[in-house]
Structure 1
Amino acid sequence: MASLLGSTNVHAHPHGWIDLSVRVITDDEGVVSGLHQTWRMDPFYSLVVFEELQQVEAASLDEGLDQLGKEIRDNLSGYDYLTEVSINGERQTLGEVSEYTALERDGRLTFMFILPLESPQSLEGNQLTYQVFDSTYYLEVVHEAENNQPLEEALILNGEPACELSIVPANPDPELVMEAAMLGEDETGEPGLGRHFAETGRVDCR
């Protein structure tokens, strides 16, 4: 899974993490067109990436980040950008990411991108949910939080105010928690393990 985030040689137990914030993009009619996601990579991973980029000859940090952003986008495209979106329980087909950037922010590697829905949908009277997770649980993805409580800005709705926003915590079976805890530093879980540890963003406009 490290290859999904670029060319770094870091290997880690699934306790590498990404801090996530999401802005749901809608127009004035309440039609949702996509999710603007911000991923903040954990400090250790970020440090290694920045050190590697600084060792590349004839390239500035900004140029290296531009190339890394493209690598991340390209690598994630085969995995639906680790994102599942549903409306009223029906999974939505996602489009290709064309707007993205990678940058350094407060010592953290930050990847921002707009993930479009292939077919924009009205939110009026509907409920949108999403999850962002690594299937093998190599990386843990959690919404931006303080004192184990998601921040208000971790989930924002742009353009349609009459909806209830919430972030539902994961509630994995204790046996799955044990399975994840027993993974070694270079091991990943079985495909699908990460889903059980994924938080759910919910935009309820019913």
Structure 2
Amino acid sequence: MTAVTPFWASLKNKACAWSGAFVLGLTGLLISPGVLAHPHGWIDLNVRVITDDEGVVSGLHQTWQMDPFYSLVVFEELQQVPGADLAQGLDQLGSEIRQNLSQQHYFTEVRLDGQRQALGEVTEYTAMERDGRLTFMFILPLSTPEPLAGRTLEYQVFDPTYYLEVVHEDVDGSPSEQALILHGEPSCELTILPADPDPELVMQAALLDVDEQGEPGLGRHFAETGRVACL
């Protein structure tokens, strides 16, 4: 077991640490159906694949919505900073999120026809309050734009240590219309594939204590896969 990553430790400091009893009560709500894993919070994910008129993909526009309980604590803490309003606090928090995520590949892996793609640096991002939830939006560019026609792009977004669970936004148990979208060329079939972790890994995650997270790499096995298969 390892300590909390700097990114989430930073956010927890902003929001104050949850009490052990609160986390214990919350844990049952965080478990996905059929999975006994033990993340300590969750993120609802929406992804827009960015392409130009010629069908060249240049990056992923991601929207992360933090879970309502955590968001509430963050907002309350930011509002208590002397001499600063919520907007100013969110601007600073967004900058910290981007900086820390840059050291962890933005929690994102992208593959094109099975080959992992290098990622660029995020320069366009914002943190905001949306429907009572802390929302972080950013454009993650590919280092080299690539044509999509006749190819398959896949991505996964996950916390490597599985401290947080990242799942595409859903409605009544199915991905929402905004969970994965592509506007423009080329014509592609969009699919979100559920995770299928090995039962031993499920048990490993379930045994994590309330102040623990998994070894780096654990989160990959619980990550959904967004697939863009183009004609």
CA distance 1:79–1:18, change in 2 (3 Å) = same
- CA-CA distance at 1:161 after TM superposition: 4.8
Q: Distance in 2 between matches of 1:122 and 1:193?
A: 32
- Higher-strand-fraction structure: 1
1:34 corresponding residue in structure 2 = 59
Q: Residue 96 of structure 2 aligns to which amino acid in structure 1? A: E
CA distance in structure 2 between the partners assigned to 1:161 and 1:153 by the alignment: 18
Q: Report how far residue 202 of structure 1 moved.
A: 0.4
Q: TM-score, normalised by structure 2?
A: 0.86
1:80 counterpart = 2:88? no
TM-score (norm. length: structure 1) = 0.96
Deviation at 1:174, TM superposition (A): 1.2
Q: Does 1:149 align with 2:149?
A: no
Deviations 1:66-102 (A, max 9, x none): 0100000001000010000010010000000000000
Instruction: Pick one of 4, 7, 13 that aligns with 2:7.
Output: 4
2:176 counterpart of 1:169? no
- Residue equivalent to 2:32: none
Q: Within 1, Cα distance between the matches of 2:5 and 2:78? A: 16
Gaps of 5+ in 1: none
Distance (Å, rounded) in 2 between the aligned partners of 1:167 and 1:199: 7
Aligned-residue sequence identity (percent) comes to: 71
CA-based RMSD of the aligned residues comes to 1.4
Look up the match of 1:122.
147
- Contact conserved, 1:42 with 1:108, CA < 8 A, in 2? yes
- Once the two structures are superposed, the pairs formed by residues 175-190 of structure 1 within 5 Å of their partners are 175-190=200-215
Q: How far apart, CA to CA, are the structure 1 residues paired with 2:87 and 2:169? A: 25
In 2: Cα distance, 1:117 partner to 1:158 partner: 17
Find runs of 4+ consecutive structure 1 residues off by over 4 angstroms.
none
Alpha-carbon distance in 2 for matches of 1:16, 1:3:
16
What SS does structure 1 have at the residue aligned with 2:119? coil
Query: Matched residues in 1 for 2:132 and 2:119: separation?
Result: 31
Query: Residue type of the partner of 1:199?
Result: E
More deviation, 189-198/146-155: 146-155
1: CA distance between counterparts of 2:154 and 2:166? 16
Deviation at 1:119, TM superposition (A): 0.3
State the match for 2:86 in structure 1: 61
Question: Match of 1:56, SS?
Answer: coil
Question: Secondary structure of the equivalent of 1:66?
Answer: helix
Report the secondary structure of 2:178's partner residue.
helix
| Aligned equivalents of 2:153, 2:208: Cα separation in 1 | 33
